[in-house]
Structure formats: structure tokens, C-alpha cells
């Protein structure tokens, strides 16, 4: 037998034995392949160009379970409280960036985007402002300085800001606030001009930052969303630097009906048609009990909302207000309610998590 023939036969024998081993034939030997690594929310969302986020507080980063889930599952975080006026600017000339800086550092170390919240809001305004007896021109200077100092501190670290938060009543009228008309910053009675001014200040402070208006109870087509839409359309027509709208979505299971979900979809579409980004910013779905039926219904609704975001190309953020029931604002704000988030108090994934992951 020639050397060439012998070599061919050996090669054939080796190939046969390899096939037998791989297929489990000829013996009880099996080849164990490692199971696929479970996909995270951030991996699933990235495929759609969506940041999946959570509101966070720096005081909980020392909780290893909290830090692990936040840094693994999410591609974005937003300060739940620590970038609001009253906390970050507690004195006339005093700024406290401690909490916000800790969140930014955590985000940077976990390759996460940071979304800023919020520069202008009627709540959590420090007493040195509310009790200072300031005139409208003085308040204008205070607010402009605040926006400028905070945004420039985080320039290049925070990609976008909720410049104005919750400026409308549910009937579509403007809310009476210290910034609008009590006494306001010089635009009392002039509609959305004070909001417009703050967006111009914000753009001047950090021209690279994206700027958003954020509100609640404006998710379906209603008087409030109509008023916000009219403002947004006007701003876009006149070149006011508005990049998108934040829809909070603090809801319960009554939101899950076809008419409401269709209205949400239509509302998203009309804002998208203006060329605006759409962000789901503060989603949570509160329950009155943690029964299997309630958790299943919650999961269904979470999945439906995530699917609406995925199907709308302008929806760039899917964010919940926190992520674990261990640290949720719901029980304090809605006595008797809770269980609102995708992870339970022990950081175990709830059915809601799976529904969100499947939708993404």
C-alpha cells in the first residue's frame, strides 16, 4: 500500500471517529456545549437603537445587588432626585454635586449614558428661593445661573436634560408656579414663553446637550397632551431648541385597554412627525397586591408598552422609575400600592422583566 493511500485511509478514519464522538454514536460519550449567555435588557434594546434606563440614587450604589443589576441590565441611568434644584443647589451660592457626580462616575465605569433630570420644576425648589421675596428679574437671573452652572458642570457627561418638568395642568392650562407667574421670571401671562426662554438658556449653557420637555398624564390623546403638542409644534416651527418629549407613564392596570394603548400609539406618532425624539422616562405600573394574576397582568402591560416603543422609530428611551421594588417611591406616594417594577425586592426578575425583554 502506498504512503499516499495509507494517509488517506488514516484521514478518513479520524474523520469518522470525530463524527461518531460529535453525534454520540458508538459510545455513551456526549459533547456538552455551554448554554447561551442570558441576554440582558441593554443588549436587546441596543439592537433597536434604544437606551433602556432606570432612575437611580447614589445612596444605593453600596448595595451590591443594586449596583450589579443596574450596571449589567441597563444602558442608561438618570438621577431620581440628586440633580433636582433643591438638592443640587441648596444655598444661594452653594452647589452640591456629590450625588450626581457619584451616579455619573458609576455610569462611566459601566459604559452607560446619563440623562439629566431636571432643571426647571415647581417642586423641590429650595426655601432660599421660595422665601427670598425675589422680583421677577431677580428670579430670572437665579434660574439662568442655575441652568448654566449645572449644565456646564456636567457638559460632556450628561447627554440630555429634562429642561422643564410638569409645566401643564391636566386640562392643558399652564401650572401656576414660582417660575411662571408667582411671580415668574418675567413672562407671567404670556403662555409658554417662559418655557421657551429656559430652553434658550439651556442651549447656550451646553450647545451639545439634547433638550427635552417632560410630563405625566399626557401619554394618550387628551387636553394635556394637546397643549404640549401645540407648544412643541410652535417651538419646532420657530427654531426653539427642543429635541424631544418625555412621557412619564406612572400608571396602573387600568391603562391596559385597547383604546388607551391605541391613543398612546397615535400620540407618539404625532410627536414623532414633528421630528422629535420620544422618551418613556418614568414608567412604573403599580399594583394593589402581588398575586400571580396581578403580576401576569402587569407583565402584559409592560410588554405592550415596550412593543409600542420598539415599533416607533422615534422612541429612543425606555426607562423605568427605579428598577427594584426594594427602593420604589410608589408605597409612599400611593398607600396600599406597590410591586411596580421589573425586579422584586430581592433583585429577582419578575414576569414584567421577561415581557420587556421579549418585546425588546
Per-residue confidence of the chain (360 residues) as pLDDT tens digits?
444 444 444 444 444 444 444 444 444 545 566 667 679 999 999 999 999 999 999 999 999 999 999 999 999 999 999 999 999 999 999 999 999 999 999 999 999 999 999 999 999 999 999 999 999 999 999 999 999 999 999 999 999 999 999 999 999 999 999 999 999 999 999 999 999 999 999 999 999 999 999 999 999 999 999 999 999 999 999 999 999 999 999 999 999 999 999 999 999 999 999 999 999 999 999 999 999 999 999 999 999 999 999 999 999 999 999 999 999 999 999 999 999 999 999 999 999 999 999 999
Q: From 3.20.20.80, 3.40.30.10, 3.40.50.2000, 3.40.50.2300, which CATH number describes the 40-359 domain? A: 3.20.20.80
The predicted model scores a pTM of: 0.90
Give the domain ranges of the chain.
Answer: 40-359
CB neighbourhood size of 132 (10 A): 14
Which one of 80, 196, 219, 282 is the catalytic residue? 282
Query: CA-to-CA distance for 100 and 119, rounded, in angstroms?
Result: 13
Instruction: State the greatest distance between any 2 C-alpha atoms of the chain, in Å, as a whole number.
Output: 107
Q: Which is nearest to 209 in space by CA: 144, 158, 276?
A: 158
Catalytic option among 82, 166, 219, 277: 166
> CA 159, CA 157: separation in Å to the nearest integer?
6
Closest CA to 348 of 73, 2, 14, 22: 73
Question: Residue 322, exposed/middle/buried by CB under 10 A (0-12, 13-18, 19+)?
Answer: buried
Alpha-carbon distance of 349 to 65, in angstroms, equals 12
Clarify whether 282 is annotated catalytic: yes
In 3D space, the residue among 252, 264, 174 whose CA is nearest the CA of residue 213 turns out to be: 174
Q: Is 166 assigned a catalytic role? A: yes
Amino acid at each position: 500500500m502506498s504512503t499516499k493511500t495509507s494517509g488517506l485511509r488514516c484521514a478518513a478514519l479520524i474523520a469518522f471517529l470525530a463524527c461518531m464522538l460529535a453525534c454520540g454514536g458508538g459510545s455513551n460519550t456526549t459533547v456538552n456545549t455551554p448554554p447561551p449567555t442570558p441576554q440582558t435588557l441593554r443588549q436587546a434594546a441596543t439592537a433597536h437603537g434604544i437606551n433602556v434606563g432606570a432612575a437611580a440614587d447614589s445612596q444605593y450604589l453600596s448595595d451590591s445587588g443594586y449596583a450589579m443589576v443596574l450596571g449589567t441590565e441597563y444602558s442608561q441611568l438618570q438621577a431620581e432626585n440628586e440633580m433636582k434644584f433643591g438638592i443640587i443647589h441648596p444655598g444661594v451660592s452653594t452647589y452640591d454635586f456629590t450625588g450626581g457626580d457619584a451616579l455619573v462616575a458609576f455610569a462611566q465605569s459601566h459604559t452607560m449614558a446619563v440623562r439629566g433630570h431636571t432643571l426647571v420644576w415647581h417642586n423641590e425648589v429650595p426655601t432660599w428661593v421660595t422665601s427670598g421675596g425675589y422680583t421677577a428679574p431677580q428670579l430670572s437671573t437665579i434660574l439662568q445661573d442655575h441652568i448654566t452652572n449645572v449644565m456646564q458642570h456636567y457638559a460632556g457627561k450628561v447627554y440630555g436634560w429634562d429642561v422643564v418638568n410638569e409645566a401643564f395642568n391636566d386640562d392643558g392650562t399652564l401650572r401656576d408656579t414660582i417660575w411662571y407667574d408667582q411671580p415668574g421670571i418675567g413672562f407671567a401671562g404670556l403662555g409658554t414663553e417662559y418655557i421657551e426662554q429656559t430652553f434658550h438658556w439651556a442651549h447656550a449653557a451646553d450647545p451639545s446637550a439634547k433638550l427635552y420637555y417632560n410630563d405625566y398624564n399626557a401619554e394618550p390623546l387628551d387636553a394635556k397632551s394637546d397643549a404640549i403638542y401645540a407648544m412643541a409644534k410652535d417651538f419646532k416651527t420657530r427654531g426653539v431648541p427642543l429635541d424631544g418629549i418625555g412621557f412619564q407613564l406612572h400608571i396602573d392596570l387600568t391603562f391596559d385597554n385597547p383604546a388607551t394603548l391605541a391613543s398612546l400609539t397615535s400620540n407618539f406618532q404625532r410627536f414623532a412627525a414633528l421630528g422629535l425624539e420620544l422618551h418613556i422616562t418614568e414608567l412604573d405600573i403599580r399594583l394593589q397586591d402581588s398575586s400571580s394574576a396581578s403580576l401576569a397582568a402587569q407583565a402584559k402591560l409592560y410588554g405592550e408598552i415596550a412593543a409600542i416603543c420598539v415599533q416607533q422609530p422615534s422612541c429612543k428611551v425606555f426607562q423605568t422609575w427605579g428598577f427594584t421594588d426594594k427602593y420604589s417611591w410608589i408605597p409612599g406616594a400611593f398607600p396600599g400600592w406597590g410591586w411596580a417594577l421589573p425586579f422584586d425586592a430581592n433583585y429577582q426578575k419578575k414576569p414584567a422583566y421577561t415581557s420587556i425583554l421579549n418585546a425588546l
